[in-house]
Chains A and B, each alone.
Chain A
Amino acid sequence: MHRNSLTRWRAGAVAVAAAALATGVAACGSSGPANSTVAGGATQTIVFAESGLGTEGQQTQVAINAFEKANPNIKVSVQVLSSDSTTYLSTLEHDFISGSSTPDVFESDVTYPAKFAQAGWVASLTQFHPNMSQFFPHEVAAGTYNGTYYAVPWFDNPEGLFYRTDLIKTPPTSPAQVVSDAEQAMKTDKSLKEGIAFEADKYEGAITAFLTVDSAFGGTLNPQNVNTPGNVAALNWLHAAIYTSHIAPQAVTGWQEGQVEEQFVSGYTPFAINYPFVEAQPMVAAVKGHVGYIPFPAGPGGTPGSALGGEMLAINAKTAHGAAAWKLIQYLTSPSVETARAIAVGDPPSLPSAYTSALYSSAPYFKDVYTLNTYSAPRPVTPNYLQVSSDLQTLFSAVYANASASAAGAAFAAGASSIKSDANATPGS
């Protein structure tokens, strides 16, 4: 009897545990089928996921309030997922993997659309007949996968070369002149700590800093073959800045855009490779009003260099509110809304037509940003970009920690095949 009751009790406990587990698992896995399509004119609420906090988030809300006023049948519920890109991406992925139909529309980094498109998480925009010719072409390319548009450029952050106009009287016209100007400035102004600052920490910014310099040497970051003379020359130039000309301190190996910005706005460096946000930062008196912003000057066989950063807008493949989501995207990427956002929070418009005299009178540096946007090169557009990025970060980081003059060439020669293999990886490979 004792044994029987104990057995029954154990069985009961197992059943309860199993039921609890099953309930939990079912709850975790619940997704629900996608609803049938809701027409754009119907009364509805759509969910918009974004990363903006602070003033950026506030400006998004201002734009959404205006959108709701213009479209009274559509309410927009804003989800701020995270300002941290890794957390933002993983939160989005969890939604998509669970088959969720929300968020209906979402912000996407320029490197995500190909990955989302391959996984079938993002809707093709072909059905909406988008006019992509109105945007800067490089960012359009970042949102295109296998010839189909999946994301619309929202704002366009080109990375370029900042320089102190009081120390560098005429902007350099070649990579060699950047070095000589930096050396001269360091001799002239003893308050300078270095000649150039750039991102060389092991993170995504190391790739955009490299890309900013790359095309100046005729390089392109094609994962099918990264071991090209142009790429080697570009990395050699950055490496030599640390170990040969010593215009960059070894400390750059730990610098991200924040530290680079700090060096520039504090007056410690005459050159810095960074994003446009630096223009809007508080600067010491010596720097304020003496800021130039140009594409990295081209060397022989190269073109002026700039790297594409920025954010795009895309639609969840499972949403039933595609038409309303598309209306919101059209509104947020209209010239007047983009100009207002640029004036309010400094996000560079993705539309050339949004660079108006009103914008220039409010923030003249957007003239420079416009120029950079015509040169900005996207990072490799591949569904496996995160793996390629990880490989490149490791490669650059290893080179920057190696004083050998042949480090860049050797690293590209050794790493090219694994980068190609990761870029082309298919299921099960």
Chain B
Amino acid sequence: MAAEVSTTEKGRPARTGRPGHLARFGRPKRPGRPTPVGHARERGDRRLGYMLVAPVVILLLAITAYPLVYNLWNSFHFDNLSYGNLPHNFVGGANYSKMFKSAQWVSALERTLVFTAVTVAFDMVVGLGLALMMHRRFRGRGFLRAAILVPWAMPTVVSAMLWKTMFDPSAGFVDYILGAFHPAWSSIAWLGASVWRSWIAIFIADSWKNIPFVAIILLAGLQIIPNDVYEAARIDGASWWQSFRSVTLPMLKPAMSVALIFRTIQALLVFDVIYIMTGGGPGNSTETLSFLSYNTFIINTDFGEGGAMSLVLVVLALAVSFVYVRAFRPQT
């Protein structure tokens, strides 16, 4: 009698080296689906995969998940380091309630949202323009592509200090340029003396650093759009604008979603540029949620309310990411 050969439902022989009788012990056969094959190898591969990612998973659990969970725990407890010898009693939602009722927090939320909307919109528009420019062929394109990354590669603390110096009313570059155009435009105190001028300076410093990031992401997106599509559009008589609107923008959506998510989260969490340039002033007119969170953690040493503030920021960032992911989901 010929040896029984294990076959799939479609009659295809099982993979070499896998004894047919083992199929009985594998995953139960589901009706209408082919019998799974190669379980031993799959198990081995999967195990190897787990082992390879285990160090990273453990590290992430330790430095991301643990602080997040601990923060959540803190936010429902009294935990002020200035009263370190007092018990960390459960306070329910008191930290959240105090935060939501605080006019300072509500104002910081409004400022953060406005800052995010304005700066992200501006960065996306200018970044797209730069990406389109860098996508064209011209002499020195390689150098420009490398040079444009310099602001982004610079630590924010450094770039904020540079911009603070540049906005100095007596020795700054901005004052020098404006004074060259009109004497009355010189010796203007940008930071600390006016709410609007402080915000303008912050926007400029923030956008200078972040526009290159958007431009590079969008440039990468532009480079993977096949030329054939543009040629087809051209043959069909599409103008530059029609081609941009109907070919470039739709095909750039994946890259735009990445840039939008990153930039929005960065803008929502903006801290260092404000801390360095204005310290939240004049008054508290440039305080954002992260700045307030820093004050609560570091100045007030209140890890209960600080935990609540930072978790609300996390939820806000997740919500925005979720909205973007839904909005940019590929149409099926």
Contact = CB atoms under 8 A, between A and B. Distances in A.
B29 to A, nearest CB: 13
Given A2-B27, A17-B61, A397 B282 contact: yes
B81 interface: yes
Given A90-B298, A250-B169, A251-B189, A118 B281 contact: no
B193 A401 contact: yes
Given A120-B85, A254-B191, A427-B80, A16 B54 contact: yes
Contact of A118 (B82, B188, B278): B82
A6 B282 contact: no
Nearest to B286: A202
A376 B304 CA distance: 37
Given A2-B27, A401-B195, A193 B170 contact: yes
A397 B283 contact: yes
Interface stretch (A20-28, A59-67, A160-168): A20-28
Interface string B41-56: 0010011001000100
Given A6-B46, A119-B81, A397-B192, A1 B281 contact: no
A24 B60 CA distance: 12
B272 to A, nearest CB: 13
Given A201-B279, A202-B278, A254-B189, A21 B61 contact: yes
A117 B5 CA distance: 83
Nearest to A200: B192
A189 interface: no
A203 B279 contact: yes
Contacts of B78: 427-428
Given A254-B168, A390-B299, A20 B58 contact: yes
A251 B298 contact: no
Interface in B174-202: 187-195
Given A386-B300, A401-B194, A21 B169 contact: no
Contacts of B58: 16-17, 20-21
A115 interface: yes
Contact of B283 (A24, A193, A394): A394
Nearest to B82: A119
A9 B46 CA distance: 10
Given A202-B278, A253-B282, A386-B300, A400 B85 contact: no
A394 B281 contact: yes
Given A13-B50, A193-B170, A387 B84 contact: no
B84 A97 contact: yes
Interface size class of A (residues with CB under 8 A): 35 or more
Contacts of A119: 81-85
Contacts of B66: 21, 24-25
Interface string B132-155: 000000000000000000000000
A172 interface: no
B82 A400 contact: no
Contacts of A200: 192
Q: Is the interface of B mostly helix, strand, loop or mixed?
A: loop
Contacts of A6: 43, 46
Nearest to B80: A427
A5 interface: yes
B91 interface: yes
B169 A249 contact: yes
Nearest to A418: B104
B7 interface: no
B250 interface: no
Nearest to B300: A387
A96 interface: yes
A251 B169 contact: yes
B189 A253 contact: yes
B36 to A, nearest CB: 9
A318 to B, nearest CB: 12
Contacts of B27: 2-3
A93 B192 CA distance: 30
Contact of B279 (A121, A202, A384): A202
Contacts of A2: 25-27, 39, 43
A400 B81 contact: no
Interface in B68-122: 78, 80-86, 91, 94
A90 to B, nearest CB: 6
A400 B195 CA distance: 11
A258 to B, nearest CB: 12
Contacts of B278: 202
A21 B60 CA distance: 10
B162 interface: no
A253 B193 contact: yes
A254 B25 contact: no
A21 B59 CA distance: 9
A145 to B, nearest CB: 13
B226 to A, nearest CB: 42
Interface string A394-429: 110110111000000000000000000000000110
B280 interface: yes
B321 interface: no
Given A97-B81, A428-B91, A202 B282 contact: yes
Contacts of B86: 427
A193 B39 CA distance: 82
A127 interface: no
Nearest to B191: A254
Given A21-B66, A401-B283, A1 B25 contact: yes
B189 A120 contact: no
A226 B10 CA distance: 88
A30 B195 CA distance: 46
Contact of A13 (B26, B54, B80): B54
A387 B297 CA distance: 11
B171 to A, nearest CB: 9
B295 interface: yes
A397 B191 CA distance: 11
A270 interface: no
B33 to A, nearest CB: 16
A103 to B, nearest CB: 17
10 contacts: A13-B50, A21-B61, A119-B82, A250-B169, A398-B284, A400-B282, A401-B193, A401-B285, A427-B78, A428-B94
Given A254-B168, A254-B169, 9 more contacts: A2-B39, A6-B43, A17-B57, A86-B298, A115-B82, A253-B192, A386-B301, A398-B283, A401-B285
Interface of A: 1-3, 5-6, 9, 13, 16-17, 20-21, 24-25, 86, 90, 93, 96-97, 115, 118-121, 193, 200-203, 249-251, 253-254, 383-384, 386-387, 390, 393-395, 397-398, 400-402, 427-428
* Interface pairs A-B: 9 shortest CB-CB: A398-B283, A401-B282, A253-B192, A202-B281, A397-B281, A250-B189, A202-B279, A251-B169, A253-B193
